[in-house]
Each structure stands twice: as structure tokens, then as C-alpha cells.
Amino acid sequence: MSTNYLIKSIIIGASKTGKSYLLSKFTNGKQKANYQPTVGVEFGSKMLQLELKGIIINTLMQIWDTAGAEIYQTITNTYYKGSSVVFIVFDLNNTESFQKCKFYMENVQQYCLEDVWKNLTILIGTQLSDERKVTTDQALLFAKQNNILYSELNKDTNVDEILHTMAKRYIQLYE
Ligand SMILES: Nc1nc2c(ncn2[C@@H]2O[C@H](COP(=O)(O)OP(=O)(O)OP(=O)(O)O)[C@@H](O)[C@H]2O)c(=O)[nH]1
Ligand SMILES: [Mg+2]
């Protein structure tokens, strides 16, 4: 027996934090050699095969990758609505990008359904290096205060598990 789901998700966060890089990793797309700021939004999708209680569930994950640049904020805001899963991204080497997560979390609370910011939002610290400025404890504290998940990665981390975890949480909430 199989069921099909379509899950809309959104990647938000300050500019140059690795959102588009994450999208390309999620969708096994090509990673750009040089930084190219996103103009407005980019879109990608990934078909997942999940197993829950012995049932195979085919799930199409739609992923909207937004621009961090403030001039696109109005466009970006319109993509929150209808998103069921949210990835809030910051750069572990950039304190300012971490501080901005408060603003992004407030946006999620303002524009998304309560289920989304209570159960289906994850904070992601990228570009893990020896020069990190934000500690795991600081990020975990923010995640705990907002009751969201947390994960930190470098460019080689396999991100499939994050996608699977969020899709499973969605399905378990709505099955
Ligand atoms: N070392 C390392 N570099 C990364 C990682 N993720 C992204 N980058 C690099 O960081 C730069 C910015 O990445 P993008 O994904 O384009 O940033 P963005 O958040 O989409 O930026 P905007 O579209 O302007 O909002 C690029 O040069 C990436 O190659 C990572 O995990 N590790
Ligand atoms: Mg981008």
C-alpha cells in the first residue's frame, strides 16, 4: 500500500548563509562554484520514499529557496503562506546572521500556521569550521526557547536525514 504526499517547504535566513547551497544539496543539484545571490526565489523539489509503520509513503518535497537580501523581503514574505516546513539558516561563522534568526522566527510565527512554528521548523547552522563564532550551546538555546529543532552542518554533511525527518514529522502530524 502506498500513499502520496506533497509538502511545501521554505528556506529562509540572512544573505550568504548557504540557503541555495542547501537547496542544491537537498535536491542533488549542481553546487555553484562562486557565490551568486538569489534573485527573488529559487525552486527545487525532491521525491522521498519514506517508511512509516511498515507503509511506504511517496512524498514530493517542494522547496522554495528565498533571497536573504532585504530588497526582496516583500516577495519573500508571500512564500511563507502555505509552507508546511521551514528551514531557518544561519552561518556559524557570522554572529549577525545568527542574531537575525529571531527576526525570521517571528516571521514564521506571523505568516505560517501554528503547527508549522510549533512542530515543523528547524534551525540550521551552516559552514561549520574551526573559526566558528556561534557555539552549539547558543544555537541550541535559541532552538529550545522557540521549541524548534537544530542541526549544524559543513559542506560535506549529508542532508537527506534532515529532509526525511521533517517530512516524517509532517506526515505523523497530519495522518
Ligand atoms: N565552506 C562552506 N561553504 C558553504 C557552505 N554552504 C554554503 N557555502 C558557500 O557560501 C556561499 C553562499 O552560499 P549561498 O548558498 O549562495 O548563500 P545564500 O544564503 O543562498 O545567499 P542569498 O541567496 O544571497 O540569500 C557560497 O559561496 C557557498 O559555496 C558550507 O556548508 N560550507
Ligand atoms: Mg541564495
CB 123 within 8 A of CB 12: no
pTM of the model: 0.96
Kindly give the distance from the C-alpha atom of residue 61 to the centroid of ligand 2, in angstroms, as a whole number.
Answer: 18
Kindly give the distance from the C-alpha atom of residue 119 to the centroid of ligand 1, in angstroms, as a whole number.
Answer: 26
- Short-list 50, 6, 67, 68, CA closest to 165: 50
Residues with CB under 6 Å of ligand 1 are: 15-21, 35, 37-38, 67-69, 126-127, 153-155
Query: Closest ligand 1 atom to the C-alpha of 89?
Result: 19
Per-residue pLDDT of the chain (175 residues; tens, 9 = 90+): 566 899 999 999 999 999 999 999 999 877 888 999 999 999 999 999 999 888 899 999 999 999 999 999 998 999 999 999 999 999 999 999 999 999 999 999 999 999 999 999 999 999 999 999 999 999 999 999 999 999 999 988 999 999 999 999 999 998 7
Kindly give the distance from the C-alpha atom of residue 18 to the centroid of ligand 1, in angstroms, as a whole number.
Answer: 3
What architecture (CATH level 2) is domain 5-174? 3-Layer(aba) Sandwich (3.40)
Cα(175)–Cα(168) distance, integer angstroms: 10
